[in-house]
Each structure stands twice: as C-alpha cells, then as structure tokens.
Structure 1
C-alpha cells in the first residue's frame, strides 16, 4: 500500500470526480475516495470495504436515498483517528466526523473541527475546498436557549480562529438541517500548493462579516470556491446583504436564490479568477435543493427544471434551513 509521503510526492490527476449514485449503481471501491449516503437513517463515519463512508439522515420513508461519491485520482490510503475517518489520494483529503447529540454544541464543534484541521495539516492537505455541516435540529434551541445553528457556528468560528494561518482560507460550505440528531461534518481539501480561489457575492454580505444579530460568532464560509478547475457553490438562499427577503413567499425566494447564484458565477465575478470567464445556471452539474416545506417541493422542482440543464443531476431534500424564514437553499458543483 502507498504511504502518505509517496502520495504527496507523486503526480496525480488534479480534478476530483464527484457524482450522485443510486445505491444499486455503486462504483468499484478501488476507485472511490469516499462515499456519503443520504438515507432515512444516519450512521457514524466508518471504513466500509476500506472506503470512508458516512450516512446522513436526510430522506423520508417514501423518498429514494442516494450516495454522493468522491472518486479517487490515484492510489488511496484510508484510516481512522478517534472519531475521524479519512482518505487521501495524493491530491485530496476526504475527512468526516460526527458530533453526537448534546445539550450545547459549541465546545464539541470546536473540538471536532480542531481535530480535523490538525489531521489535514499534518497530512499535508491544508487547503480546505468544500465543507458540509449537516445539523440536526438546526433551528431549534439548545439547553441555554440559543439556536443550535448559532451554537454550532460559535464553535466552528473558534476553531477557524485557532488555526488561522495554518488552515489557509475559509472555504465554500453548506450548513443545513437533517432529519436526525447530532452533527455530521465532512469536507474535501487539497495540498498546500493547490491553486485555490474563494469567492464572495457582490449581492451578499460575506457570511463571516454578519452582524451579531445572527449569533455570537458569524458563520465561517465563503460563497464559492474555485480549485482544480472545479467550482464549488455554497448553499445559497434568498438573502440580499445579510437579510432574508420574500419571507413566506416561495416563488420570490426561489427567484432571488437563482439570481444570487447567477451573479456569483457570472463572468463579472468568477471571471476574476477563471480565465475562461463565468458560467450560467445551465452549466451546474451536481445540485442539491433543500426545501423546508414539503408542499413547496413540486413548485421548486418545476422552477429548477426550467433553468437547469436536463443533464444535471438534481436532488430535492425536505429539511430545515439555517434560518426559520428561509424556504429554499441551493448548492451546486461545476466540474
């Protein structure tokens, strides 16, 4: 088996291939860096046939589950350290950890991030490209009467502050609810020499500059990350500046969300770091659409089918969003 040093020193294909699969479509595990199972029941990160695998409770009994699969770009070394499960392939690190349900998450979130950042830097992958934070009860209150998402964000922010200068930048991310309890964290990161650009949206206040009215510590994420020829678009919602707009109006919120993504990926914005210019909504590949009210899903699906490519893989998940007044959130990847 290859060693970590061998993987870091050997040339590799730079582009990770990420795809959605139905469980019956599972790829050969020899070519898989990691797998995230979106199913009715979650399970803690584990090594399944040598592949880091985590199950997130995001679907109902009547909805089909799916897997998000990260393909390996070279020989893989996988392992476990405490609650962390991870794999590297010479260009990328995948890492996942679960924070079990508790009364207050702040300290546990900081410790989880701290351990993940220590692993990433020690193995030589300090360029975080994309993070997912899947939070049970995201808009509920913790034991201190603080919204769980704000509680979680405080611990996450403290970890980023602790690792400032070693974890190179704040990346694209999604913070979204689940149908279970606890927090599921996973991310993909690159080597220190990776060319990585983190983008903001001129229509929106950077999340890490949100005022204290949104919590004691601002959320730690960029609106998008462009690296290795791949664009990772963070969870995007009906927010202008830092304020939710079109409260209670699903049509208005879908329109603003799509307008926000259009601006984010435009030539005027993305063209600052991508020589070929920007993208349009028809270029989006892997799209997750989170809808908080189940009765809104048919409308949201219809609207998305109008603007996205028929070749795009799109999944719809009925879960809570990080603000009670947000009805829809969309994330995507272009690769």
Structure 2
C-alpha cells in the first residue's frame, strides 16, 4: 500500500517526473539535448563520453546494438564532480553516481559503507534531499555461503553508511550482480526537492522486515515509489517472492508469471490502472544467458509493445532466475 500519501494532494508546482527512454543514439548528441539529466550505456563496449552525466553500467545487454537509457527533465541541467561522485541537477531533480573499487576501501562491506556515506553527505548538502530511487550493481553478488555471501556484506555496509540518509523512509531500489570486475561497485540515485510516496506490495513482507535467515541486516528499500506529481511509479527490483520466500525454484516460466503478478499488485497498491504500455520502460535482469531468448519471447507476448531492456545480471537470491524493474507513467 502507499505509505503516508492517503491525503496528499497533487500540487500545481509538483515536479513532473523525468522522462525515461531507451534509445539507440549517439551518446554525445543525446547529452547535448535539452534537459538530459543522465545517460546510461550498458556493457563493456558502450560509449562513455567524458561527461559526469554519463554512466557505463557494468551489465551486458542481450540486445544488439544495445540501447542507451536517457533521463530528461523540463529544465536546464548543471553537472559536475565532487571527489568520486558524478552529479547533475535541474528543475528540482538530482542525479548522483559513484563507482568504487573494493580493493581501495577494504572489501565489500567497507566499500558499500563508503559509497553510501559519500552519497549521503553530498545529497544532504543539496536542495534535492528526498532520495526516491537507488540502483546498486556489484560483482559476484551471490559468492559466499550464509552470512558470508557478498550481497549480505553489501547490505551490512549500506546500512552502516546510510546513517539517517533515509530517515523519512527507504527509497525504491535495485541490487543486481554484474559479471565485470568483481571489485567494482556502482551506485547511482535519483533525488528530488519534493517527496514521493512509498508503495509496498500486499503479497510480500516489506524487505526491511525480512526474518534473520536473509542476513544480519535486512535489505533497505521500498517496493516502489510514486514520484511527486503522482505521474509516474518507480518500481524496485521485483522477482518471484511471495511473503518473504522465493517461489518456483528452477522454474523460469513460473517465476516470470509470479513476477508479473507482483508488478500488477504494485500498480494496484499505487492506485494505477493495470498493465504497462509503450511509455513504460522496464529492465529484465536474466541470470543465465541461455534463458534470455525465452524471457524476451515471454515478455513480448505478455507485455506487447512495452520497451524492455534485457540485461545479463545475477539476482540477489541465487535461486531466482529473473528480476524486473522500471517505470510506469500515469
């Protein structure tokens, strides 16, 4: 359900949501377009101009040529760097990204702590202090057993580094394992000078309330976030989880069906009409490359016309084969 938004009225000056689109285009030309807040390339071969707004995400695309993801706002955009951080801002919106090498920061936990401390300090000094959405990409996310798993170490470090970063409530988020340099951690976020509305899924236990079996520190994210003008829903990484348990082990088809059921539950909780359309870009993270063709065919059949970026990534639970996140515009 939507948390704390039952009586919120849409204000005349509410910030219109950034427009998110997947495009096969020249990166330099895309960055020159008015209002470009951020531009993402995917995989080792993606172009990365020397611009703070541009991020080369360490996930390979199953599409060729691989499209870029572009965020645009209705305002001029300023941008720059602050130590290891890259940032851009315009129209009340803030993008910030950081990439760290674990070898320089003492391992997985300490690196996650450092990344979130730096992001916290930077965002706190800006006018756009409401963090609405975060993406986390780390190498070998499922390596290690029990509490020694790298994802669980990441969760420990994230919690240690955030402090009161999310005192008003957790943002929507994604955490996916990439297949690049195992020591590479990438985190980026979208913040605004106006708050959003957190959305939970009635079919699932809130992530921060997971039982101890999922680690010393539960994941810290909301299932989705309604953006300030209530014109878009930012959807967290969503998989075949019911209650707190993973469903349909080793059954890709059933996991895909369950994931779409969870996505529809989120739309209903956000007060949105069912279904996705051609203006609702999604990402599907696929664990096994051999499954990509099936996932593409399944989603084209179930979500005709919906732009889906298919990426090779490991889900934060080793038994899960696919995860979907993205945007739904009102």
TM-score by length of 1: 0.85
Correspondence list, 1:42-61, <5 A: 48-49=50-51, 51-59=52-60
Task: Report the secondary structure of 1:141's partner residue.
Answer: coil
- Pair 1:112 & 2:115 matched: yes
Which residue pairs with 1:5 in the alignment? none
Correspondence list, 1:163-178, <5 A: 163-165=165-167, 168-178=168-178
Where in structure 1 do 4 or more consecutive aligned residues deviate above 4 Å? 60-63
Relative CO higher for 1 or 2, CA cutoff 8 Å, sep ≥ 6? 2
Which residue pairs with 2:101 in the alignment? 100
Unaligned runs of 5+ in 1: 1-10, 272-276
Q: Distance in 1 between matches of 2:166 and 2:325?
A: 26
Task: Report the secondary structure of 2:311's partner residue.
Answer: strand
Which residue pairs with 2:219 in the alignment? 219
Which residue pairs with 2:9 in the alignment? none
- Pair 1:129 & 2:123 matched: no
Residues 290, 319 of structure 1: 8 Å contact kept: yes
Which residue pairs with 1:239 in the alignment? 241
Q: Distance in 2 between matches of 1:152 and 1:90?
A: 32
Q: Distance in 1 between matches of 2:14 and 2:221?
A: 28
- Aligned counterpart in structure 1 of residue 304 of structure 2, from 296, 301, 309: 309
Correspondence list, 1:1-335, <5 A: 14-24=16-26, 26-31=29-34, 32-40=36-44, 48-49=50-51, 51-59=52-60, 63-102=64-103, 104-141=107-144, 146-165=148-167, 168-181=168-181, 182-191=184-193, 194-227=194-227, 228=229, 229-266=231-268, 269-271=269-271, 277-282=272-277, 285-310=280-305, 312-335=306-329
Give, in angstroms, the shift of residue 160 of structure 1.
3.1
Q: Distance in 2 between matches of 1:179 and 1:322?
A: 13
Aligned length: 309
Going from structure 1 to structure 2, the CA distance change for 1:47 and 1:119 (only over 3 Å counts) comes to farther
Unaligned runs of 5+ in 2: 1-12
Going from structure 1 to structure 2, the CA distance change for 1:53 and 1:321 (only over 3 Å counts) comes to same
Give, in angstroms, the shift of residue 314 of structure 1.
1.0
Give, in angstroms, the shift of residue 63 of structure 1.
4.4
Task: Report the secondary structure of 1:303's partner residue.
Answer: helix
Residues 283, 308 of structure 1: 8 Å contact kept: no
CA-based RMSD of the aligned residues comes to 2.5
Going from structure 1 to structure 2, the CA distance change for 1:284 and 1:21 (only over 3 Å counts) comes to closer
Task: Report the secondary structure of 1:75's partner residue.
Answer: coil
Of the structure 1 ranges 20-29 and 199-208, higher mean CA displacement relative to structure 2 is found in 20-29
Q: Distance in 2 between matches of 1:237 and 1:284?
A: 22
